[in-house]
């Protein structure tokens, strides 16, 4: 039996997700559509609700109703069951906005020891994220209401609505903003340009009628590419020119950051910023990768990884080949892979002001010469004192 095509669709509203699914069904009239919702506010596994529809869907199937369990496990079994019993050549998996989509997809497709692999039966189509512009702009400004999303294993730590909205856009291979509601914003409000900047690697479309982009299977290494996007040291670029005052600024530096001066610089560095992502080398935590994420007016700094040491160390040998390759690109004989890199995306950004504010937060030559012992004594108003 040949492999079926598996399309994954999500959206920031049920209505815009439905438009995307309807567009795919026009391209593939016999496709089966499992539509998913997830309920569960407490600890433990949620209730995963599935409703099967589409011209190729049987009236009586086990892939309907509700079941309690890990969403990735439940839906993987559903998809394998559909392939065995229905045999449709195209399945459109419609996912809810309560999922952290990219880690969920990585887990959904992950090969499991002693279990049937999804890749044995399906080819992956581009992940399609549908965006309602009004809802996106409202969510990107909501930083006081926390949500927790389901990923491939459990629930995330509390996130702002703004962070959740940005992550959803960043999970896409294709971004769909309905015509007249955002992409025409190249001639209008600019929301289409903004989401295109937030995910510079995705294709932006205003219609789901072009099967060349949506019905073509992804390359064989799609899982590694998705996993790579989750690496805290991978900062996606944006090849698109500035439009409607929407632009991006990339700041890089190869010396440690003084945390107090960084705190003082934030008001300037984040002015007009809708989304920023990157990592820092803070002087008081010289061995730690500090991730930087902002969405709307909320900034989160978090100790997320360790900088790799020279190649003879165990940490280097234990790292993935992709991580070692990335470290090699940036390797410095003295600093190793340590560096700062942040991309800012927003409207009307002052590139010179951002760069100057952050450059002034770097250690001076005199401070740099004092060494790690002196750096560790620098007060850190952002993350507090480092342990040990």
Average pLDDT value for residue range 165-176: 96
* 158 in Cβ contact with 152 (< 8 Å): no
pLDDT band at 189 (very low <50, low <70, confident <90, very high): low
Residue 186 has pLDDT above 50, yes or no: no
Q: Catalogue the E-assigned strands of 177-297.
A: 203-205, 246-253, 273-280, 288-295
Chain mean position to CA 315: 26
What's the Cα-to-Cα distance from 202 to each of 46, 51, 115, 171, rounded to whole Å? Answer: 30, 29, 32, 9
Average pLDDT value for residue range 6-11: 97
**What tokens does 25 get?**
């069904």
* 191 in Cβ contact with 246 (< 8 Å): no
Q: Within 13 Å, how many C-alpha atoms sit on residue 254's CB side?
A: 8
pLDDT tens across 67-88, in order? 888 899 999 999 998 888 887 8
pLDDT tens across 89-142, in order? 999 999 999 999 999 999 999 988 777 889 999 999 999 999 999 999 999 999
Residue 195 has pLDDT above 60, yes or no: yes
Q: Is 288 exposed, middle or buried (0-12, 13-18, 19+ CB in 10 A)?
A: buried
pLDDT of residue 57: 62
Average pLDDT value for residue range 182-200: 70
pLDDT tens across 212-261, in order? 889 999 999 898 889 888 888 877 666 555 566 788 999 999 999 999 99
Looking at the DSSP bridge assignments, the partners of residue 49 are 37, 66
Which of 7-21, 62-76, 236-250, 281-295 has the least mean pLDDT? 236-250
For the entire predicted model, the pTM comes to 0.89
pLDDT of residue 59: 52
**Rounded-to-integer distance, Cα 285 and Cα 117, Å:** 41
**Rounded-to-integer distance, Cα 388 and Cα 385, Å:** 9
What's the Cα-to-Cα distance from 343 to each of 235, 251, 331, rounded to whole Å? Answer: 7, 6, 20
Chain mean position to CA 299: 16
Residue 320's SS3 state is: coil
């Amino acid at each position: 039996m040949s492999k079926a095509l598996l399309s994954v669709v999500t959206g920031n509203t049920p209505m815009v997700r439905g438009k995307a699914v309807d567009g795919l069904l026009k391209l593939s009239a016999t496709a089966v559509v499992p539509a998913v919702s997830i309920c569960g506010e407490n600890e433990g596994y949620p209730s995963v609700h599935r409703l099967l529809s589409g011209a190729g869907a049987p009236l009586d199937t086990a892939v309907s109703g509700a079941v309690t369990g890990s969403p990735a496990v439940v839906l993987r079994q559903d998809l394998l069951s559909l392939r065995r019993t229905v045999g449709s050549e195209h399945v459109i998996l419609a996912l809810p906005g309560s999922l952290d989509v990219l880690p969920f997809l990585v887990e959904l497709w992950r090969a499991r020891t002693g279990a049937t692999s999804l890749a044995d039966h399906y080819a992956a189509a581009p992940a399609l994220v549908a965006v309602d512009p009004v809802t996106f702009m409202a969510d990107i400004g909501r930083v006081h209401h926390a949500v927790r999303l389901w990923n491939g294993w459990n629930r995330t730590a509390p996130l702002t609505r703004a962070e959740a909205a940005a992550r959803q856009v960043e999970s896409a291979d294709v971004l769909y903003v309905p015509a007249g509601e955002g992409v025409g914003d190249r001639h209008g409000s600019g929301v289409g340009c903004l989401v295109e900047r937030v995910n510079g690697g995705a294709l932006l479309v205003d219609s789901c009628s072009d099967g060349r982009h949506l019905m073509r299977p992804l390359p064989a290494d799609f899982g590694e590419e998705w996993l790579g996007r989750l690496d805290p040291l991978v900062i996606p670029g944006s090849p698109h020119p500035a439009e409607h005052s929407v632009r991006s600024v990339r700041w890089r530096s190869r010396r440690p950051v003084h945390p107090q001066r960084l705190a003082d610089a934030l008001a300037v560095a984040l002015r007009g910023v809708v989304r920023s992502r990157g990592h820092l080398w803070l002087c008081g935590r010289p061995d730690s990768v500090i991730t930087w994420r902002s969405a709307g007016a909320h900034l989160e700094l978090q100790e997320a990884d360790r900088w790799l040491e020279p190649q003879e160390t165990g940490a280097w040998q234990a790292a993935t080949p992709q991580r070692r390759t990335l470290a090699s690109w940036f390797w410095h004989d003295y600093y190793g892979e340590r560096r700062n890199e942040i991309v800012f995306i927003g409207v009307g950004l002052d590139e010179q002001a951002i760069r100057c504010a952050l450059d002034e937060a770097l250690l001076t030559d005199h401070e740099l010469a004092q060494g790690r012992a002196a750096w560790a004594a620098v007060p850190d108003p952002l993350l507090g004192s480092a342990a040990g």
